[in-house]
Amino acid sequence: MRFSAFQLVIPAFFALLTSCSERQNTELKHSPAVSSAPEAPQPEATVQPDKLVADTSSVQDVAAYIAGIRPSQHSPLRTLTAQPAWQAFAADADKSWTSYHQTRTDKVQQWAATELDSVLQSSPTIFYPFSGPDLLNAVTMFPTSQTYVLVGLEPVGSVPRQSTLENPKLFNAIKASLWSVLNFSFFRTNDMAVDLKSLELDGALPLMMLFAARTDHQVAAVRYVQLDAEGQLTDADTATIRKPGPKIIPGVEMKMRDKNGKEQQVYYFSADLNDWKLGFTKEAALKYVRSLGPMTTYVKSATYLMHKPYFSKVRNLILEQSRYVLQDDSGIAMKYFQPADWKFTYYGVYKRPINLFVKHYQPELTAAYSDSLHKPRPLPFGTGYNWRQKDSNLLLARRREPAS
């Protein structure tokens, strides 16, 4: 994908976006299961050849390699970095990520340090529904949180095997899958599935590992998990992860350390959060989120799902349990926030949604952004579907009384 083709591809992209956002989990495609089940990771994050990863010594080395960063000195992957294809990929990745961090990461974190100072100090847990594998924006916006819980329709995926890492087609597939998130801040989910499926980068986990590496994190361990009917976290085998039944919520736990050595954990669950689908799983995903206690919810590029009546259960959970909600206009519609319970701060500019979502226009936001006595605060970066800085918006909702 090239920028010169932008005017041609973006209408088609948004036409695809809605269909992928509400598809059922049973429609997702999975790669064949690995023959062995994973065991708990060793303290040194070593993964044995017959467990989670074949023929590699460390999940961090895999994360670095697919991110275009040289693995550790004694990694078996070190020899693969001599390939001209990997070297060209790494050089291109360095250039892209340097530009991304300068034009986006630095701006977001400087803004958050000022505008979200008290929020960051009291947000140990981040809930990011409809996220897909977008760990990147979560850790950029909330770098000091301890736990990140992501939920999306994409399958969980697995740590790439040696044969996948040796395939030179891998590098173009990674570049294609990341193009939109690096340029627009959100994923083109359908394209990601097509680009990666044939190479067994089979879901959210490989990209989460890549994002961890490119945000100066060390991936310490990876564990497959699932939620039981009561929302309790239990171990899962590879067969369950790759081909879960309709009543199973598969997931993955990824432990990592930031550049200062702070331990953090990321959970990703492959789950459909519409009310009807939640009934099939006895609301296991929502029960798990409730067990986390008070939290901060982050929502962006969520295809306006929580504007709809059949996403009421996840919407109500967020409104009941969140201390803070940081979202663009595709999150929870303003009509569902009770002004007596919430204090609002508006950032950026509110315009009508893009044509695909124009029916989700909110007059309440137009009125709020036009209030001359309480003018919206600046937003120095773009986010969401109106991705240009001059068109983007964020809302910070602070609960007036502590969440129970």
| 376 found inside a domain | no
**In what order do the strands lie in the sheet containing 393-399?**
233-235, 218-227, 249-257, 263-270, 147-152, 125-129, 295-299, 322-327, 393-399, 342-348
| 368 found inside a domain | no
Q: pLDDT class for 280, splitting at 50, 70, 90?
A: very high
pLDDT for the residue 246: 86
Decide: 346 and 368 in contact? Cβ < 8 Å.
yes
Task: Write out pLDDT tens, residues 155-174.
Answer: 999 999 888 999 888 898 88
pLDDT for the residue 179: 75
Q: pLDDT class for 100, splitting at 50, 70, 90?
A: very high
Average pLDDT estimate for 105-120: 96
| 356 found inside a domain | no
pTM attached to this predicted model? 0.84
Please count the structural domains in the chain. 1
Task: Write out pLDDT tens, residues 30-54.
Answer: 333 333 333 444 444 444 333 333 3
| 216 found inside a domain | yes
Q: At a CB cut-off of 8 Å and minimum separation 6, what does 397 contact?
A: 322, 324, 325, 326, 327, 337, 342, 343, 344
| 44 found inside a domain | yes
Looking at every residue in the chain, the average pLDDT score rounds to 84
Residue 342 bridge partners (DSSP): 399
Q: Domain containing 43: what range?
A: 3-322
Range 85-109 burial, b when 16+ CB lie within 10 A, else e = ebeebbeebeebbeebbeebbebbb
DSSP state of 360: G
| 402 found inside a domain | no
Q: How many CA atoms lie within 13 A of 400 on its CB side?
A: 8
pLDDT for the residue 308: 97
Average pLDDT estimate for 327-343: 97
pLDDT for the residue 140: 97
| 341 found inside a domain | no
| 51 found inside a domain | yes
3-state secondary structure 97-137: HHHHHHHHHHHHHHHHHHHCHHHHHCCCEEEEECCCCCHHH
- At residue 257, what is the residue type? R
